[in-house]
């Protein structure tokens, strides 16, 4: 797809290296598609940062204005969005996490009642009107009826994209899953949403029953969070300390080397805790690029049920069908190769494959 130098201004707040990689991956893909892309990336959500973003959007000569996840700050951009529409610009809100999910996350992010109440109130007041003013709202999980109230058919549910140059196909150094099954779960910050505790509980029950294969679980990410400490206690409770490893943060090379040795990855198994049945988990895209099959819960817009390397378990607290994956993995593994998984990612999950849907349908 090629266009004639149509300009995109992408406005966002940085929420860490993972988010920045995703934003820059999108911008790189849009540039390859022929767009002239400018990125306005703020490090804070201060009023001065919001003011700079507003001034940048209003003064920009870009045809497309893409704003990432304004959520609780939406109310401060409403007047700006009105002006952008009056200028004839195409406004796209890139909303990776539904506003209704953010409301639930606030309770885990802050202990202050005033802080929680303020964030929720701002979100309820601002988001519906911001969504109403956008030409397109791109979302990766199902939004609640309240926040869809004024958006009509402007919401587009699509899967997350990924920069395909970030990760190469892994080497085959992992066990086949008949005698030993090596799992890996990766998260920047280990929290309830990953649902790693479901894997640990399944492992404990599996070991108690004396079943094969022998299951090992590598948990990668910030291992000092409150939930990580809960997981460590859970591991002790089930007496599987020799089978669960907390690796902390790893460099890209260290993580890639661990991918080589792991049979199966773990996606987010706690979507139900956010009230979600559909989500586009970014880490899954990375697993696919590396050629790793994975366990997942709920629906994903980019993966039909027929995909053999996505092992789907129930989107609840149960562990029975997780143990069923342990049991059937080796047989199911015969139906695909690591290369098949990566080829699927290149064809369906790359930013390049999503730019037309993201921009030109607005």
Residues 224-269: tens digit of each pLDDT: 888 999 999 999 999 999 999 999 999 989 999 999 999 999 999 9
CA distance linking residue 350 with residue 28, whole number of Å: 11
Please report the pLDDT score of residue 97 as a whole number.
Answer: 83
Give pLDDT, residue 293: 98
pLDDT of residue 4: 45
DSSP 67: E
Is the C-alpha dihedral spanning 320, 303, 102, 30 positive or negative? positive
Other residues' Cβ atoms within 10 Å of the Cβ of residue 48: 9
pLDDT the model gives residue 1: 44
CB-based contacts of 249-254 (< 8 A; 24+ apart in sequence): 249/220, 249/221, 249/222, 250/220
For the entire predicted model, the pTM comes to 0.81
Paired strand residues for 13: 42
pLDDT, one tens digit per residue, over 297-315 is: 999 999 999 999 999 999 9
Residue 283 phi/psi, 5° resolution?
Answer: -60, -30
List, in order of start, the domains of the chain with CATH numbers: 7-157 (3.40.50.2300), 180-348 (3.40.50.2000)
Per-residue tens of pLDDT for the chain, all 362 residues: 444 458 999 999 987 777 888 888 889 889 988 899 999 999 888 999 999 999 999 999 999 999 999 999 999 999 999 999 999 999 999 998 888 888 888 887 777 889 889 999 999 999 999 999 999 998 888 888 888 887 777 888 888 888 888 789 999 999 999 999 999 999 988 999 899 999 999 999 999 999 999 999 999 998 888 899 999 999 999 999 999 999 999 998 999 999 999 999 999 999 999 888 888 888 999 999 999 999 999 999 999 999 999 999 999 999 999 999 999 999 999 999 999 999 999 999 988 888 877 776 66
Predicted local confidence at residue 5, as pLDDT = 54
CA atoms within 13 A on the CB side of 2: 1
């Amino acid at each position: 797809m090629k266009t004639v130098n149509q300009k995109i201004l992408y406005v966002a707040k940085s929420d860490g290296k993972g988010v920045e990689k995703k934003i820059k991956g999108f911008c790189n893909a849009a540039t390859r598609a022929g767009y002239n892309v400018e990125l306005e990336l703020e490090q804070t959500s201060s009023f001065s940062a919001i003011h700079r973003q507003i001034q940048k959007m209003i003064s920009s000569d870009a045809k497309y204005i893409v704003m990432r996840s304004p959520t609780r700050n939406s109310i401060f951009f409403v007047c700006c969005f009105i002006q952008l529409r009056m200028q004839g610009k195409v406004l796209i809100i890139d909303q990776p996490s539904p506003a209704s999910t953010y409301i639930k996350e606030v309770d885990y992010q802050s202990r202050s009642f005033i802080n929680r109440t303020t964030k929720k109130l701002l979100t309820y007041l601002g988001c519906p009107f911001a969504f109403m003013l956008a030409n397109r709202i791109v979302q990766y999980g199902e939004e609640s009826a309240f926040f869809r109230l004024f958006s009509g058919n402007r919401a587009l549910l699509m899967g997350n994209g990924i920069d395909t140059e970030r990760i190469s196909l892994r080497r085959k150094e992992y066990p086949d899953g008949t005698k030993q099954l090596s799992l890996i779960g990766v998260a920047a910050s280990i929290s309830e949403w990953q649902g790693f505790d479901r894997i640990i509980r399944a492992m404990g029950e599996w070991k108690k029953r004396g079943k094969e294969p022998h299951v090992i679980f590598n948990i990668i990410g910030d291992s000092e969070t409150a939930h990580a400490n809960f997981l460590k206690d859970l591991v002790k409770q089930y007496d599987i300390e020799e089978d669960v490893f907390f690796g902390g943060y790893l460099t890209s090379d260290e993580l890639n080397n661990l991918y080589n040795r792991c049979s199966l990855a773990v996606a987010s198994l706690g979507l139900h805790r956010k009230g979600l049945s559909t989500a586009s988990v970014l880490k899954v895209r990375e697993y696919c690029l590396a050629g790793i099959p994975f366990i997942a819960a709920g629906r994903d817009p980019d993966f039909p049920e027929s995909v053999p390397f996505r092992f789907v378990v129930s989107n609840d607290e149960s562990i029975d069908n997780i143990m069923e994956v342990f049991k059937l993995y080796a047989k199911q593994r015969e139906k695909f190769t690591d290369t098949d998984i990566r080829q699927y990612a290149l064809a369906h999950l790359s930013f390049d494959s999503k730019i037309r849907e993201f921009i030109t349908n607005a």
